[in-house]
Structure 1
């Protein structure tokens, strides 16, 4: 059976994988107040758990790109989904901070791989003029997943299970609500695997692709680089990779903050309870719109005759101009004005991220795209770790418990910085978020990213 527009069906499955990825990721963040109370976890321990996830995420990024390049998009993606789904299900049985940290570490090892796999799928199935939009669409899956999570997991966590379910009682006891949420959201990944394994093949090997679409993809194949996969030495010598890594290290912490901490910020600053935190759908909707708009607009510029690289950078400039709105958020007295300003900055942050990711796909030869994308994305999780440490110090004040190894290591490197912001609340972080994107754009421009020839091959 032939599918018209098969590449969009493929993209739909990648979109759903991103939804599941973020539902499994966000379950902890949405239920954090309840879980922290049940497990006796303070904010610094919460930050340590987040950082174990991000540490594994960083390690997995460095490995998963090579795995995707070696195993192929189909097999690599299936491996990652199975791994993170099992890790999420295992979270239902945690008993304390250490077991929670272990499960989040395992989750991070699996979840990072979907992004280099998704970028490789886009490079295999989409011509250059459609790639930014395709990246925007599957990234919107992450924001849709984040927006849906409160509506899925809060009812699961607060719903009283029917009487006569001794299996759940024996497994989970009185804390069954949030534990069931982890169990059921993890199971969803195995349902996703069925259509993925049935449908996905490389375009050259697919029996379901139409001749017209095959010709369209073959045209872009002709423009793809030839040669063998880069060695690690070649990857590390590729200067644009380091510029893009720094760009993500500086700017991705903004999006991580809204995922990991913003619900807690609303609870602290605006007195929202667990059920009221469903209002965060506004933020994730803005992120999804930003993902689409960023990809659509740069694609429009490409169709108008601009080079892909120039188009991405123009959109990123507009995003950097919007980010200083972050400074105004802590001063908002009402929830409505807080959400409006936050939505604007999240919109800009995601439109920026889409175009930064598209630059990687534009300029890296396809045979090594997974590897380079992974190294660039590792900067994202390193920036997220630093953000967690800073924000935890800002909101917690002096530590009252011995820190974990991540906390102690970060303090040994950045002790004076942590001391300077300790106990000052969220304000300094909102100021930092106003400046990070403009700074990253200056570094990209000064480093000459705009002079790099798209699709060049160093093999």
Structure 2
């Protein structure tokens, strides 16, 4: 139903029919009644916090594990490389197009397949710390790749709004999802800081260490 509404929104109509053809605006509260809104918001809530966690805590990780404070030139180079790698997220726009144009897939199916592929890359971060014993470059590169994959996934998630809602509501739905992502980011980073301080103060005895 939403897709048909979108298609109607984009139809060319004679000037004298413009008033009748303008789609009815959907209020903020009405947007909250759609399950598609909550699906998008859940996607942002579950993923944005992890993205900001890596951006916020990677400098502290380099400082505590490798003794590379933020004012160290090597640490600055590592962070620069990490952010540079995240620019690979532009593939997020290319891959779905490749599936549609070259493989003949439906736009929705092509986007979902691309998002599935991108969703696997952040799992590499599970190996960042153990492989970090070899070189500090390895976790930085892994985190950068995971960040790029997240941004590619997120870009495609944003594009699903236009598949589900009329143009007049895109900004509202985007704002709702972004708010959910920011709440998640605050909760995760706040809790991480509290947990870090608690672990330092208790020598991690609450986890069974003696």
Q: Same-fold call, TM > 0.5?
A: yes
User: Alpha-carbon deviations, 1:196-251, whole Å to 9, x = none?
Assistant: xxxxxxxxxxxxxxxxxxxxxxxx9438x941210133201121110111111011
Q: 1:364 aligns with which of 165, 168, 175?
A: 165
Counterpart residue number, 2:107? 308
Counterpart residue number, 2:72? 275
Counterpart residue number, 2:83? 284
Distance 1:361 1:423 in 2: 47
Counterpart residue number, 2:119? 320
Mark the CA change 1:384 to 1:373 in structure 2 (over 3 Å): closer, same or farther: same
Distance 2:187 2:83 in 1: 23
Q: Are 2:189 and 1:385 aligned?
A: no
Q: 2:50 aligns with which of 254, 262, 280?
A: 254
Q: 1:353 aligns with which of 124, 141, 154?
A: 154
Tell me by how many angstroms 1:340 deviates: 2.3
Tell me by how many angstroms 1:389 deviates: 2.0
Query: What are the equivalent positions in structure 2 for 1:202-217 lying under 5 Å apart?
Result: none
Distance 2:22 2:205 in 1: 52
Conserved? CA contact 2:128–2:143, under 8 Å: yes
Normalised by the length of structure 2, the TM-score is 0.77
Counterpart residue number, 2:16? none
Tell me by how many angstroms 1:423 deviates: 8.1
Count, aligned residues: 184
Helix, strand or coil at the partner of 2:11: helix
Distance 1:396 1:362 in 2: 44
Distance 2:48 2:159 in 1: 15
CA RMSD for the aligned pairs? Answer: 2.6
Distance 1:423 1:375 in 2: 37
Unaligned 5+ segments in structure 1 are: 1-219, 401-418, 425-459
Mark the CA change 1:398 to 1:268 in structure 2 (over 3 Å): closer, same or farther: closer
Conserved? CA contact 2:125–2:139, under 8 Å: no
Conserved? CA contact 1:319–1:349, under 8 Å: yes
Distance 1:422 1:237 in 2: 46
Counterpart residue number, 1:222? 11
Distance 1:358 1:423 in 2: 44
Normalised by the length of structure 1, the TM-score is 0.37
Conserved? CA contact 1:393–1:422, under 8 Å: no
Query: What are the equivalent positions in structure 2 for 1:20-31 lying under 5 Å apart?
Result: none
Helix, strand or coil at the partner of 1:222: coil
Q: 1:242 aligns with which of 17, 38, 49?
A: 38
Mark the CA change 1:226 to 1:363 in structure 2 (over 3 Å): closer, same or farther: farther
Distance 1:231 1:422 in 2: 51
Unaligned 5+ segments in structure 2 are: 1-8, 13-20
Counterpart residue number, 1:374? 175
Mark the CA change 1:328 to 1:423 in structure 2 (over 3 Å): closer, same or farther: farther
User: Alpha-carbon deviations, 1:236-286, whole Å to 9, x = none?
Assistant: 112111011111101111210122221111111111121333221122112
Greater relative contact order structure (CA < 8 Å, 6+ sep): 2
